[in-house]
Amino acid sequence: DSHNKAIESLNGDVNAFIITTPEQAREAAKAADTLLAKGEGGLLCGIPLGVKDLFCTNGVRTTAASNILRDFVPPYESAVTANLLSEGAIFLGKTNLDEFAMGSTNLTSAFGGVTNPWRRSGSDAKLVPGGSSGGSAAAVAAGMVLGATGTDTGGSIRQPAAFCGITGVKPTYGRCSRFGTIAFASSLDQAGPMARNLEDCAWMLEAMAGFDKRDSTSVDRPVPRYADALERGVKGMKVGIPREYRAPNMPREIEALWEQGIAWLREAGAEPVEVSLPHTKYGLPTYYIVALAEASSNLARYDGVRFGERVKADSLDALYEATRHAGFGEEVRRRILMGTYVLSSGYYDAYYLRAQKVRTMIQRDFLSAFEKVDVLLTPTAPSAAFAHDEKPTDPVQVYLNDVFTVPASMAGVPALSLPAGLDAQGLPLGLQLIGRYFDEETLFAAGRVME
Ligand code: GLN
């Protein structure tokens, strides 16, 4: 109940939740109390969580922060949320996001932007929480919930975690089922936990992960007890520092924090090693081809006939046009147009096919780095949270935010962000750890010595 009350009193300012379900939460809490009294209950029995409004929840409105799904009530539960429920988690509501998870600011939501609970010292300026899982990050940072689900296609768990001073894990692609998660870019989308620290993320991830035959890319491997990896330590671990992530105009403070992270790992017994990921600079442009191509295809289903809102019109074509025009916001429309363009005949070879080839090269960069080192350490984002009115008007400038997070997404390797310090204005900064396929445990072990 205290969390329900926290949401009631704070959500007006933060706008982290699109939908709250306090009554259902109270009922679930009673059931959890009964189980706990009997010494039963799952891994997360009674733990209050937020659910990014991209996960379908049976009987609870699921909007993807888009007008086109404003009143959509799914008749089924996503795999990830079903897994959490079966471990006893309690959902307090659906958290805000960039429309269809497209963005890094959470300002493209049809339900209004989210405000980061952090402020620059001596300033009232409202800051963005990052995106797209900005509502989840802000809800955790504000103490409305103990954890929340996120999805990460190109950084949407890690970057908002960094902006809000919390921890977020993007598992290996295939670790969590995508069944029932509204698709943005299917070859990149991956669900993961966002919480106050690594231990909470470890318990959440154990509950969320697992094979699911309803998602053909879900991988059939046992789910480890991630929490057991936390105290493994880093003695003898080789930590790669990728040269190409030293962006020329990186703020001094972020570079200093990165050095600090290297020092923490060294003190704990790890060995830092400089490595090269030569195709890093192609990460952003190839991501914004592949992700948009897949998005244009995935979003074709919102035609006013099968799902969601419909604007009536005289002909079928006019119905499609009017529905999609009214339903999608500017950023989503821009992405559908670009995605359709790079897939169209005549441009396919020049853009989409080439981007897929470069994607393989990025993946090989990681594979060869991981022959030499166990984990990579980089900053999570090139800046701290910025003010709502500082969001660049040029969309490409916004895309640059994702420079450190998209390469791991393109390769499908796991990565996490943890809060590592504050900048001169008192805002949180994050460090990113990237690991081998299905080796989230090493990320937890290495992250722990920097907490
Ligand atoms: N910011 C990136 C984008 O806009 C990543 C979004 C995400 O991971 N869902 O595409």
Is the confidence at residue 273, as pLDDT, over 90? yes
Instruction: Look up the pTM and report it.
Output: 0.97
Task: Give the E-state strand segments of 63-200 in sequence order.
Answer: 90-95, 147-152, 167-170, 190-195
Predicted confidence band of residue 383 (pLDDT cuts 50, 70, 90): very high
Contact of 424 with 253, CB cutoff 8 Å: yes
Task: From the CA of 184, give the closest atom in ligand 1.
Answer: 9
Give 157 Cα–ligand 1 centroid separation in angstroms. 9
DSSP designation for 245: G
Phi, psi of 94 (to 5 degrees): -110, 130
Task: From the CA of 291, give the closest atom in ligand 1.
Answer: 10
Task: From the CA of 153, give the closest atom in ligand 1.
Answer: 8
For the segment 412-441, what is each residue's pLDDT rounded down to a tens digit?
Answer: 999 999 999 999 999 999 999 999 999 999
How confident is the model at residue 24, as a pLDDT? 95
Helix 134-141 vs helix 2-14: crossing angle, to nearest 10? 120
Predicted confidence band of residue 319 (pLDDT cuts 50, 70, 90): very high
Is the confidence at residue 371, as pLDDT, over 90? yes
Give 83 Cα–ligand 1 centroid separation in angstroms. 25
Predicted confidence band of residue 307 (pLDDT cuts 50, 70, 90): confident
Q: CA-to-CA distance for 153 and 183, rounded, in angstroms? A: 10
For the segment 160-209, what is each residue's pLDDT rounded down to a tens digit?
Answer: 999 999 999 999 999 999 999 999 999 999 999 999 999 999 999 999 99
Residue nearest to atom 10 of ligand 1 (CA): 102
For the segment 387-404, what is each residue's pLDDT rounded down to a tens digit?
Answer: 999 999 999 888 989 999
Type of residue numbered 167: T
Q: Determine the residue of 53, 54, 102 to mutate for testing ligand 1's pocket, defined as the one with the most ligand atoms within 8 A of the Cβ atom.
A: 102
Q: What number is the average pLDDT over the span 236-248?
A: 94
Q: CA-to-CA distance for 73 and 69, rounded, in angstroms? A: 9
* Residues of the chain above pLDDT 70, percent: 100
How confident is the model at residue 248, as a pLDDT? 77
Q: CA-to-CA distance for 202 and 155, rounded, in angstroms? A: 19
Type of residue numbered 88: G
Task: From the CA of 103, give the closest atom in ligand 1.
Answer: 4
Residue nearest to atom 4 of ligand 1 (CA): 103
Task: From the CA of 155, give the closest atom in ligand 1.
Answer: 8
Q: Pocket around ligand 1: residues whose beta carbon is below 6 Å from it?
A: 101-104, 132, 152-156, 184, 291, 402
Give 189 Cα–ligand 1 centroid separation in angstroms. 9
Is the confidence at residue 308, as pLDDT, over 90? no
Domains of the chain: 2-229 (3.90.1300.10)
* SS3 state at 368: helix
Phi, psi of 137 (to 5 degrees): -65, -45
Q: CA-to-CA distance for 191 and 451, rounded, in angstroms? A: 23
Predicted confidence band of residue 406 (pLDDT cuts 50, 70, 90): very high
Type of residue numbered 337: L
Q: What number is the average pLDDT over the span 217-222?
A: 97
Residue nearest to atom 5 of ligand 1 (CA): 154
How confident is the model at residue 317, as a pLDDT? 94
| Catalytic sites, residue numbers | 52, 132, 156
Q: Which two tokens stand for residue 56?
A: 């379908």
Contact of 409 with 141, CB cutoff 8 Å: no
Contact of 105 with 98, CB cutoff 8 Å: yes
Predicted confidence band of residue 297 (pLDDT cuts 50, 70, 90): very high
Helix (H) or strand (E) holding 35: helix 22-37
What's the whole-number average pLDDT of the chain? 96
Give 328 Cα–ligand 1 centroid separation in angstroms. 17
Is the confidence at residue 1, as pLDDT, over 90? no
Complex prediction ipTM = 0.97
Q: What number is the average pLDDT over the span 51-65?
A: 98
Give 448 Cα–ligand 1 centroid separation in angstroms. 26
DSSP designation for 181: B
Give 39 Cα–ligand 1 centroid separation in angstroms. 42
Residues contacting 306, CB < 8 A, separation 6+: none
How confident is the model at residue 2, as a pLDDT? 85
